[in-house]
Structure 1
């Protein structure tokens, strides 16, 4: 069930809101179980065969969490961590690993491709964050209902944001519609949902026609002209931003409608003046996860320069692997690890850089590395790079208007979260957003309905 589908917007969401409001008013103790049940229905709607995996994952990890404080052997946590990663690896990386093994002379293993359960990376990381903090004494124990809702809450179960238990668990205890700002929260939730839909439908999806044919041609071994390469690369740069940030805006807005505040995930990333600044603005919850649960665990900046640079490289390489089971994703992550390491060396040497030059270098680096992220193979990426660097025919017909509009919105405007909180509530504003929502619905009904890019991760 897509957030940008009629079945969600016109059926599931209204029914869920009515049931939630009734439970909150007349039977408050049923509110959280209702949200858990709605989340399971939402997840199962896509493919009911994966619901048992989610249920077993929640039950087993909750049982481990209950036993972990009493474990004296020290083996339970590493086994739980390995088990969660093994399940993720089985579904997401089995085919990739067999392909790598087949590179060894004499081996010819059959490739096994399992269907990838939606959101498995995200709910696996939620388990890992909670169990890690519980083992360290930073997290308390929770009942099964609250833990299940933390893992499966439907606005964020499929593609985040990655939410720490400390950011959300205390909110489950509130009576959201009894708050003095309840109406304001609902209004801002509707605005965020509408803005996120508009970003996806009007800015992200139209760029796919600039991007997909070119990358498909590169994957098929065809030559890509300079105009096509720049059109596809710049198009994807803004397509992935509006697609994923639009999803996040919708998730934050939906959560507000049910009385939950989720953490922001984007902060105008294409205004970053360094690569470190970029990762503080792009997919912010993943960046914090990688920093706190991988980079710091590897030594961070506490054990000397060599360890710091090595930890950055390893963290970002693993972050690339998390995004996809392919060598191009690993190369993308490794490139960012090298770039972040170079930034550390530059700052340690006392280097300074004007903001404008820093922005240009960061933008060029991010744009060029997006090719590795989008391309299906190194050969396809090489075809795009040849076009970008003028090693292919110049070509013609560069389609720039939609890219220019997307770039202006991405660079100039504030985040959706900041914008909707600056707007003063009034009837004209409500009417304007209602009209925009209707226009979005008409657009959804008129065009192809694209999945969100991050659903594949």
Structure 2
């Protein structure tokens, strides 16, 4: 179920909170098992056929970790990571590989057309992070209940944030409603949920009306100059408010259950370099790519040539992670090349004026997002041609929603900062409740859009 659906907001979440409070109050030993059951029920709501896959992945990886604890053979960890990647590859990349093989061979091979289990990229990466740290001696053994909750915790199982075990495991042992600040944390969780919903419903979803028709037209071979510019400017903000709104909701919901998840965005469109952008955008993924790919390939420890290679390959693989398509790979390669250029610029001791750095960074991000959003290279090329003026004339650009989105994204604080700056007061509670009610009416009137990152 979607976070922005009546089923979740008016049924699942209230029932889950009541059950969690009862367990915390009367049977604390059942709190974590209850959260596991709730998380599995939440996941099964999407498609119960994929629940056995999630449960099997938890049980198998946990068993490997236990075996490694009794007999620390690195082959166990390597084998488990390979199996995790193989399963991910089967569901997410098999048809992509079959299509590429067919193009190379000049044949037509039948695709498998396997349905993509929601969240498989995220829970696979959680397994890999824990197993890698276990092999390195940084992670301890955990019981099955705690490990299952680490992997399947419902606020973050479908689209992150990517949470390290060090950030969450110790919180499972707390009694969250006995904390002196329990009421304040609960209230801020409700506010985060409301702000995230507002970002998604009032900004992210309306921007899709500017983006989707343009890319559909481009896929059909023609798009007007105005529509192309409108889509190119709107999509960076659409995906930001959609995904950061989801993250705010996830952080707020987790806080209602006494769990603090890591932040995932830090005003990325204020970035004055591409390196700065990736330190602010999808920060938990950037951290994973840095620590488990870039550093694993040598990082900056073995000379400039290897550093540039590791950086380029990390971003290329990051692009492939986002989608089984060559447009995603080229998008990742473009960012890898841009980051490598930034390294060389800094190595040369050159400097960039702040305004010029911000302008170039936003332009680069927005233009490469065309590859990310387009369904094919032909569609992307059609958009690029229209941006250069080689396209039919169309209606004037609708800029007001884009301008509002830019203002909020570039000037306003992040939702986490905004919510934690607000002093506890009655008027804040009333305002939050009013906004939530308006959101409920908005959800009831409009189509309920899924979150963009669910496809990854």
TM-score by length of 2: 0.99
CA distance in 2, matches of 1:356, 1:16: 48
Question: CA offset at residue 72 of structure 1?
Answer: 5.1
Change (3 A) 1:54 1:396: same
Match of 1:51 in 2: 51
Counterpart residue number, 1:84 = 84
1:390-437 CA-partner distances (Å, limit 9, x unpaired): 222343321111111111111110000000000000001100000000
Q: Hey, what's the Cα distance between the residues in 2 that align with 1:75 and 1:201?
A: 47
Residues 186-241 of structure 1: CA deviation (Å, up to 9, x unaligned): 000000000000000000000111110110111122x2122111101111111000
* Partners of 1:310 and 1:426 in 2: CA distance: 53
CA contact under 8 A between 1:69 and 1:135: conserved in structure 2?
Answer: no
CA deviation vs aligned residue, 1:163-200 (integer Å, no higher than 9, x gap): 00000000000000000010010000000000000000
Residue aligning to 1:407: 406
User: Could you say which residue in structure 2 is the equivalent of 1:374?
Assistant: 373
1:251-262 matched pairs, under 5 angstroms:
251-262=250-261
1:214 and 2:214 matched:
yes
Conservation of the 8 A alpha-carbon contact between 2:36 and 2:152: yes
Matched with 2:263 is 264
Runs of 5+ unmatched residues, structure 2: none
Distance in 1 between the 2:70 and 2:179 partners?
Answer: 38
Cα distance in 2 between the residues matched to 1:106 and 1:213: 33
1:4-35 Cα distance to aligned partner (Å, 9 max, x none): 00000000000000000000010000000000
* Segments of 4+ moved more than 6 angstroms: none
The 10-residue stretch of structure 1 (81-90 or 63-72) with the greater mean CA deviation from structure 2: 63-72
In 2, the alpha carbon distance for the partners of 1:407 and 1:205 equals 15
Instruction: Identify the range of structure 1 (429-438 vs 386-395) with the bigger mean alpha-carbon deviation.
Output: 386-395
The aligned counterpart of 1:308 is 307
Tell me the distance in 1 between the aligned counterparts of 2:119 and 2:250: 14
Q: CA deviation at 1:103?
A: 1.1
SS in 1 for 2:74: coil
- Number of aligned residues: 456
Give the distance between the partners of 2:106 and 2:373, measured in 1 at CA. 32
Equivalence for 1:281: 280
Paired with 1:49 and 1:9, the residues of 2 have a C-alpha distance of: 24
Distance of aligned partners of 1:435 and 1:73 in 2 relative to their CA distance in 1, 3 Å threshold: closer
Q: Distance between the aligned counterparts of 2:74 and 2:133, measured in 1?
A: 15
Unmatched 5+ stretches in structure 1 = none
Distance 1:294 1:184 in 2: 39
Contact 2:74 2:135 in 1 (8 A): no
- CA–CA separation in structure 2 for the residues paired with 1:361 and 1:394: 27
TM-score by structure 1 length? 0.99
In structure 1, distance between residues paired with 2:396 and 2:209: 14
